[in-house]
A = this chain, B = another copy of it.
Amino acid sequence: MVAPASPTADRTRAQRGNAALERLGYTVELRVDPLRHHGYYAGTDPERATALVAALTDDDLDAVLCLRGGEGCMRTLLALPDRAVDRIRDARPKPLIGYSDITILHAWLQAEIGWVGFSGPMLTSFAEATPYTVEGFQRALAAPAPFTVAAPSDGPQMRTVVPGRAEGRLAGGCLSLVQALVGTPWQPDLDGALLCVEDIGEPPRRIDQMLTQLLAAGLLDRLAGVLVGELVDCNPGVRGDAYPHSLSIEQVLDELLAPLGVPVLSGLPIGHGLHLATLPMGIQAELDADAGVLRVQPAVT
């Protein structure tokens, strides 16, 4: 377990996550104190960068799990020591697992390293992971085999924004972080991709602004399809507005994504909700917006 972004303030939650993982049969090596902090960061930039590189180059580890998101991964990347990327490329590929701010690291793995990162639960997530989350995690991390991600029975409302089927590479993650990647060396290549977006606590006008930026930057011109995951607490009124009207999240998606003319499905449990699917980023998948499922087809390695 490394902490490339933020620390937790709740040691008990970290301990419960650790205990849950050990009950599942994993051996967890805590590389940092989950409470260690520099402001909202889990240590200074060089400390986080050094710990991340040490974990990714340690071939005794089978996977690198992040403590939690928050913020800091881009500053971690800017602080990587000399030759870090070469040293990681020389190491045995291992899954890096996390979501939210970890979106930045998944984009970096795609752009610079070529490893598959997994959008999925983090150490603190396991403190209260549902059976859906745990089973998805174990299935995705097992030996490569096709699997299907469908919504849990008590998941968010499923909505086919634009019907159809599309194949493409899984890309994206938390929308605020996809926005933060634009213009950087780790900007995702979305040509032919299935773009996943999810977020928490961003009102419709912010979701609107972020998608509009991606449109204006031309990043959505050759998309294969869009998976809109959880948009938790993104309803109107979450942040104060100086005027009483708001588009709904559904209107924003209809106005901005429907004109793309590619399949768009909203409602799979990607992101900050109760249930959390585990997705291998960069891997080919088929979005079936009619059936409301995602079929993941990992290459046999």
Report which A residues bind B (CB closer than 8 A).
6-9, 37-41, 70-71, 74-75, 77-78, 179-187, 201, 204-205, 208-209, 212-213, 215-217, 219, 239-247, 251
Beyond the given A70-B243, A182-B183, A239-B239, please list 10 additional residue pairs across the A-B interface where CB-CB is below 8 A. A38-B247, A39-B204, A39-B246, A70-B242, A75-B208, A75-B212, A179-B179, A180-B212, A182-B217, A201-B240
Taking a contact as CB atoms under 8 Å apart, the answer to whether B184 and A217 are in contact is yes
Residues of B within 8 A of A243 (CB): 6-9, 37, 40, 70
Q: Known: A9-B242, A9-B244. Is A74-B213 also a contact (CB below 8 A)? A: yes
Taking a contact as CB atoms under 8 Å apart, the answer to whether B75 and A180 are in contact is no
Taking a contact as CB atoms under 8 Å apart, the answer to whether B40 and A74 are in contact is no
Q: How far is the CA of A78 from the CA of B256 in the complex (A)?
A: 11
Taking a contact as CB atoms under 8 Å apart, the answer to whether B184 and A71 are in contact is no
What are 6 A-B contacts with C-beta separation under 8 Å? A8-B243, A71-B208, A74-B213, A77-B216, A182-B182, A184-B216
Residues of B within 8 A of A215 (CB): 78
Closest to A7 in B: B243
Taking a contact as CB atoms under 8 Å apart, the answer to whether B242 and A213 are in contact is no
Residues of B within 8 A of A219 (CB): 183
Taking a contact as CB atoms under 8 Å apart, the answer to whether B40 and A247 are in contact is yes
Residues of B within 8 A of A183 (CB): 182-183, 187, 213, 216-217, 219
Q: How far is the CA of A41 from the CA of B256 in the complex (A)?
A: 14
Nearest 4 CB-CB pairs, A to B? A39-B247, A183-B217, A182-B183, A184-B216
Residues of B within 8 A of A37 (CB): 243, 245
Q: How far is the CA of A216 from the CA of B184 in the complex (A)?
A: 5
